[in-house]
Structure 1
Amino acid sequence: MTEESVVVLTSITTDELNVTHHENLVADPRMGAVVSFGGVVRNHDSRAGVTRLEYEGHPQAAKTLTEIADDLALQFPGVRIAVSHRVGALEVGHIALAAAVASAHRAEAFGCCAQLVEEIKTRLPIWKNQFFDDGTQEWVGSL
């Protein structure tokens, strides 16, 4: 019997994110695999050093994130999903995206988590403004 998928958490927040918290949310004795992802603000981009980022979300971002997680839950039966995206000002080293997926088996957990991150990158209406060490800045698409 295949378990039903559960979306445990979807969140757009200004609060600091913790990947371990997301892993704990999806943990379950029936799950043999927990795969997580932390999208961390790095100190460089292809053109220059990055000093900080500012993320801005569309008013529908929370709804879209829930839709993305729900879509993946349908595609990967039996998974548990927790995902959050941070908005506002972030410093180098801060987590912008925290995601965790649990499944009975590793293939589904890896596949779902990877696809979750890709869907967020393409569908979530959140934009980032990168601030460079040369004093310039640049708006780019989501994550």
Structure 2
Amino acid sequence: MPEETVRLVALRDTALDVDEVLAALGDEAGGGLTLFVGRVRDHDNHKGVIGLDYTAHPSALQRMQDVCELIAQRHDVLGVAAVHRVGRLAIGDAAVVVATVSAHRGEAFAASKDLIDTLKAEVPIWKHQVFVDGTEEWVGSP
């Protein structure tokens, strides 16, 4: 059942913990666990970035849950986890951690890619970047 397969879904205003995600997906039948960590980089579109803020719509957590359940239905996975950071982040901070566990690596890779791509496309979390030159931009806002 997809609901039982979704093991961890959270929005946090504190540092993300990769070990928490790995622990949530512990499964003796899992031969492949694929983890993706999205980090704040020091540039975007050829401009230096000095920091950013993530803001989430009040529906974002439920949308993350919905996306995780969808991934569990689309792929033959044993577990799905997704945690996203909100608030002010510095260069190098983890902004999102997603992972899936499956009996085989191929399905875990495919499911994790689908998970991060679908989260980015469908969950209302917006990034406000501040650039070295003093300009700023919102990414992903309506």
- Specify the code of the residue in structure 1 equivalent to 2:36: F
Q: Is the 8 A contact 2:64 2:123 kept in 1?
A: yes
Q: Is the 8 A contact 2:77 2:100 kept in 1?
A: no
Deviation at 1:28, TM superposition (A): 1.0
Q: Within the alignment, does 1:75 sit opposite 2:74 as a pair?
A: yes
Tell me what 1:96 maps to.
Answer: 95
Aligned ranges 1:37-52 → 2 under 5 Å: 37-52=36-51
Contact 2:77 2:108 in 1 (8 A): no
State the distance in 1 between where 2:101 and 2:50 align.
Answer: 34
What RMSD over aligned residues (CA atoms) do the two structures have, in Å?
1.2
Match of 1:7 in 2: 6
2: CA distance, partners of 1:25 / 1:9:
7
Identity of aligned residues (%): 37
Report the alpha carbon displacement of residue 78 of structure 1 after superposing the two structures with TM: 3.5
Say yes or no: does 1:36 pair with 2:30: no
Aligned position for 2:65: 66
Tell me the distance in 2 between the aligned counterparts of 1:100 and 1:77: 14
The answer as to whether partners of 1:127 and 1:141 remain within 8 angstroms in 2 is: yes
Could you tell me which residue of structure 2 aligns to residue 21 of structure 1?
20
Whole-angstrom distance in 2 between the partners of 1:78 and 1:18: 22
Which whole-Å CA distance do the structure 1 matches of 2:100 and 2:124 have between them? Answer: 22
Gaps spanning 5+ residues in structure 1: where? none
Aligned length: 139
1:6-47 residue CA offsets vs partner (Å, 9 max, x unmatched): 100111111111223212210211100110000000000114
- Which runs of at least 4 in structure 1 moved beyond 6 Å after TM superposition? none
Match of 1:111 in 2: 110
- SS class of match (2:54): strand
TM-score, length basis structure 2 = 0.93
SS at match of 2:71: helix
Contact 1:19–1:100 (CA under 8 A) maintained in structure 2: no
Query: TM-score scaled to structure 1, two decimals?
Result: 0.93
